[in-house]
Structure 1
Amino acid sequence: MADVVTLPCESYARTVRDAFEQAGGPDALAGFERILLKPNLVNASPFPVTTHPEFTAAAIDAVRAHTDAPITIAEGTGDKDKETGEVFTALGYEELARCKGVDLLDLNHADLTEVSRPGCPVFPTMWLPKAAFTHCIVSLPVLKGHSMASVTGTMKNMMGFAPPSHYQGGGWKKALFHRDMHGSIRDLNRYVTPHFTLMDATVGLRDYHLGGPRCRPEVGMILAGADPLAVDRAAAGLLGIDWREVDHLR
């Protein structure tokens, strides 16, 4: 996993900055006029189910040290009962955006574009937010196991881009992905995948992405890298999972 930097977390402010710089984050930003930070806000549960706002604040500072490009925090929650704006407010992201002078974008209701990739067996055509193709995407997932995907990391974090108007298919706003979770993640990342990842692996949810037991001892790490597959394979190892046994990582 030479492409992944893994650092013990001294503090979000210091370690996020160091991981970003050591893993080539400034190079990933080069040439982009707009930056999109994509936390994992699957529902309104606090960290470690969702990305801590202080972690996102540290990511904003790390990015701003290397570019004056405007920054947007973007998410499309999967919560069946709440809208993204409600989740932003509940988890402190509305206040964070005010304090840091960044925008918030609800990906569930953003302007869409239709894109096609005939080589994708699950989604040969997708409707996705235009912002996915105009911004540098910096993914900010948390380390978690998943009941259907085994690991939910930076590649699965891209499900926030899928609009419920096209991918609900059930109770959860992205439920259509559940019909073939691994194939759906693979195809989605052929359309939109992060240019860089900062993963909060300070705690780790061992088995389940919406709660359950934490890793004991806590993992205590920050991961960073420009290769999302390598980051997720490294994350699987921190959970004691062999990535070769995870279909979308194999």
Structure 2
Amino acid sequence: MNGTVGIVGCAEYERTMVVDAVCRAVEAVGGMARFVRPGMRVLLKPNLLTIKNPDQAVTTHPEVVRAVARLVRDAGGDPVVGDSPGGPNLQGYLRMVYDQTGMSAAAREGEFALSDDLAWEDLDVPNGFVTRSLCVLRPAVQADLIVNIPKLKTHEFMHLTAAVKNMFGVIPGAHKAEYHLRMSSRRDFAHMLLDVCLRVRPALTVMDAVVGMEGEGPSAGTPRRIGCIMACDDPFVMDVFAAGLLGMRPEEVPTIQVGVERGLCPARPADVRHAGDDPEQFRLRDFRMPSARPGFLERIPGPLRGFLRPSLSFAAARCNGCGACARACPPKAITIVNGRARVDHATCIRCFCCHELCPRNAVRIVRSPLARLMMR
């Protein structure tokens, strides 16, 4: 690894424009032949969080995945797209995600295949910081090489979802809730994400930052044009650089903060080497951050902390009682009563999985006036 980030402007998802940007970004870090050898089985790991259209900026755009797959094929590899979205770990649900996110249509053009294998294997993590074993999707275990293709977005729990957080998708859906329960603090969860990324490490990351998401990400925020494609052989370094473009400080992003502590990445975006276009043209100075502030509550004395913790509410006009939030809730704090979602705040661990996976964006994160005042 050399940790250089290739960054190339890409104003929209027009095919030739995306292909050119992806090619130039990957060439800036050594070209696809540096990573892929003829005959390799290559898993392409996009962000396929849930059933959303590409224009909603929740999932990796299919044109970016298609362009990466073309480079893999040109290098002699066999590209296969795979992921375990949030929600039920069922092939039928996965096919719905593939269809809605545009992956099925892109696959029909012949550049890549779609994996429907949701089986998993137990992997030892001898040097894990918070876990000594992981349940990992079989396609990720059996692949000769993984190319990580995340979407650059905010995240209410982790503040940022980019290269490192995207690899949580190799954990089968049913086990994601277990990890949220076992590592319920932001800090422990961030350490677990690093353990996953180190154990199932992608050889290359190609980031879709043409249109990202600001505000209440990763699914209920607002699409925001950033205008670039980035590539790097180090997912930890990639996140430091990407966070800098959005104006996020390292201490605001738990995965970066613990990554710095573990010696996996530099503390400052200025310390990351880059090649390609000038990153200043993509830097956003008015990017809207998520409402949750990592580390805020940890600095508050214990007796006051309870008054400042966020709570959940459900917009009556949007909630239809579908139960997706209840199924996604790790501690089972949500029930459906008379066709509406209800939360037991004493049981809630504030992981915001319900907010992330609600198909109608009905979940709201509510803060007291005092908390809003102190977070300014």
Per the normalisation by structure 2, the TM-score is 0.59
- 1:3 aligns to what? 4
Find the residue that maps to 1:19 and give its secondary structure.
helix
Residues 205 and 5 from structure 1, CA distance in 2 versus in 1: closer, same or farther, beyond 3 angstroms?
Answer: same
Alignment of 1:200-215 (within 5 A): 200-207=208-215, 208-215=217-224
Quote how far apart the aligned CAs of 1:213 are: 2.7
Distance 1:225 1:41 in 2: 20
Quote how far apart the aligned CAs of 1:195 are: 0.8
Distance 1:90 1:168 in 2: 24
The residue type paired with residue 46 of structure 2 is: P
Q: Higher relative CO (CA 8 A, sep ≥ 6), structure 1 or 2?
A: 1
Residues 166 and 213 from structure 1, CA distance in 2 versus in 1: closer, same or farther, beyond 3 angstroms?
Answer: closer
Quote how far apart the aligned CAs of 1:94 are: 1.5
Find the residue that maps to 1:220 and give its secondary structure.
strand
- Conserved? CA contact 1:39–1:139, under 8 Å: yes
Distance 1:94 1:113 in 2: 26
Q: Report sequence identity in percent.
A: 30
In structure 1, list runs of 5 or more residues that go unmatched: none
Correspondent of 2:142 among 134, 139, 148: 134
Correspondent of 2:22 among 16, 23, 27: 16
Q: Provide the aligned length of Structure 1 versus Structure 2.
A: 241
Matched, 1:236 2:243: yes
Distance 2:239 2:3 in 1: 13
1:49-74 C-alpha deviation (Å, 9 max, x unpaired): 1011111111111222222x211011
Alignment of 1:112-151 (within 5 A): 112-135=120-143, 136-151=145-160
Alignment of 1:49-64 (within 5 A): 49-64=58-73
Structure 1 runs (4+) greater than 4 angstroms displaced: 174-178
In structure 2, list runs of 5 or more residues that go unmatched: 12-16, 258-376
Q: Highest CA radius of gyration, 1 or 2?
A: 2
Quote how far apart the aligned CAs of 1:101 are: 5.0
1:45-98 C-alpha deviation (Å, 9 max, x unpaired): 22311011111111111222222x211011111135972111001222122212
Correspondent of 2:169 among 160, 165, 177: 160
Greater shift in the superposed pair: 150-159 or 112-121:
112-121
- 1:187 aligns to what? 195
1:121-144 C-alpha deviation (Å, 9 max, x unpaired): 422111212332332111111110
Residues 178 and 53 from structure 1, CA distance in 2 versus in 1: closer, same or farther, beyond 3 angstroms?
Answer: farther
The residue type paired with residue 137 of structure 1 is: I
- 2:226 aligns to what? 219
- Conserved? CA contact 1:155–1:228, under 8 Å: yes
Distance 1:20 1:230 in 2: 15
The residue type paired with residue 98 of structure 1 is: R
Residues 134 and 7 from structure 1, CA distance in 2 versus in 1: closer, same or farther, beyond 3 angstroms?
Answer: same
- Conserved? CA contact 1:177–1:184, under 8 Å: no
- 1:95 aligns to what? 105
Matched, 1:45 2:52: yes
